[in-house]
Amino acid sequence: MEAVLWFLSFVGALTLLMAFRVPVAVRMGLIGMAGTAAFVSTGAVSQIASIAYSQSSSFILVVVPLFILMGEVIAVSGLGTALFRAASIWTRRLPGGLAVGTVGACAGFASVCRSSPVTAATIGAVSVPEMIRNGYSKKLAFGATAAGGTLGILIPPSVPMILYGVITETSIGKLFIAGILPGLMMALLLCATIVIQVLIKPEIAPRVLQRPSFKERMGSLGQASPIVLIAIAVIASIYTGVATPTEAGAVGAAAAIVTAVAMRRLSMSRFFAALDGTVRTTAMFMLLLIGGLFSSFVLTRLGVPQEMSTFLTSLDVAPWVIIVVINIFLLILGMFLDPLSILVIVVPIFLKAVVALGYDPIWFGIMITIQIEIAAITPPLGFNLFVLRKVVPNSDFSDIVNGSLVFVIPLLVGIALLMIFPDIALLLPRLAG
């Protein structure tokens, strides 16, 4: 099949350039321009430039730096550490309580952060040393943190969801709302995985028998409440229709700055560090979007999405079988490409076929996001694995990898549940209208 050969050639070219450490956005841009010049026409190269400009100048993209700034301010101000302390106090007596608390803290931080690596780094810098100090297995400590960090891109706000919404012209607000229940489900599945591991091997997580006092519990909630209130304000404003995602991003960013200043956690140097991180991440996002548009243009002109859609919908199998095959392909691709690259490459190829099979594009967006979560903790290119190695000094990379791979299982279970019960993702957007 010609479309498959074109697509495999495209992925092969990306992998080859990756070996030379060419940035992913540049990779896709170069391949897009070279492919357009070689297989379409040299004059069409200027056309894709105008397409890229018109798409990247869209007002909806203002939401990107706003949510990024909100997450950066909270990260540099250290407000995220209060979430771990609160979660660990409330889950202390559970099997693997500190690890369960780590996942809970990651879920809470994800509600004000847009990034899986940032979530893993912020919570992991505090949680991993604390777990190891209390006798926890290094594999469990690293694995729970790496897996919990993946929630940063599923629980809204989420940069991958924004990118998906731009590529597919799907409502970003509905995507954010759709990620709430799957995000909570994934958090529960990760926690259940921790508890099961500890029940089977109690030595990997010594039990803490001391019951936290009422004062400790209430005090921890008070310290974590600013982040919780910011998250509720952002999500509730989108869900009720009071604010658009862009307006909610502005409210969230302003609330994060005001809160950090009021708590004396935001010095000028930290604020400039947050601005620097915002500019860098936004620039990376925009370059990736433009590079992806270049690649999508040439693949579309070569007929790859159209032929792939025709081929998949013509197969004499149940639609769920095709979805399973797509997921297996994504699982393999996630081992060799960074998460956002997968999103930019795969979505234009498969979306038309998925919709033709009767699946909702919002549902498909959540499923893709979970696959990106898996890519973040699978070697050899799992971002969260390398982030934890950096933020935890003298860590053994094999402990990080081996501890994280166990948590691929609950993420796959989550995808299976999403396939069986699509309303897990679609119920809240439907209620929101």
Return the higher-pLDDT residue of 40 and 429: 429
Alpha-carbon torsion, ordered 276, 280, 282, 287, to 10 deg: 160
Q: What mean pLDDT is reported for the chain?
A: 83
| In the chain, % of residues over pLDDT 70 | 98
CB 107 within 8 A of CB 155: yes
When pLDDT is cut at 50, 70 and 90, the band that residue 140 belongs to is: very high
What is each CA distance from 293 to 54, 169, 300, 355, 383, in whole angstroms?
A: 11, 13, 10, 21, 24
Closest by CA to 118, choosing from 269, 292, 274, 344, is 274
Dump pLDDT digits (tens) for 361-399: 999 999 999 998 898 888 877 778 888 887 777 778 888
| In the chain, % of residues over pLDDT 90 | 18
Q: Which residue carries 């989420």 as its tokens?
A: 158
- The predicted structure's pLDDT at residue 382: 78
Distance CA 72, CA 281 (A): 10
- The predicted structure's pLDDT at residue 410: 94
- The predicted structure's pLDDT at residue 383: 77
When pLDDT is cut at 50, 70 and 90, the band that residue 411 belongs to is: very high
Q: Which residue carries 């499923």 as its tokens?
A: 367
Closest by CA to 274, choosing from 99, 113, 100, 396, is 113
- Tokens in use for 359? 């699946």
When pLDDT is cut at 50, 70 and 90, the band that residue 303 belongs to is: confident
Distance CA 211, CA 226 (A): 25
pTM, two decimal places: 0.83
What average pLDDT does the segment 282-305 reach? Answer: 78
- The predicted structure's pLDDT at residue 426: 93
When pLDDT is cut at 50, 70 and 90, the band that residue 133 belongs to is: confident
What is each CA distance from 28 to 32, 38, 357, in whole angstroms?
A: 6, 15, 29
- The predicted structure's pLDDT at residue 2: 67
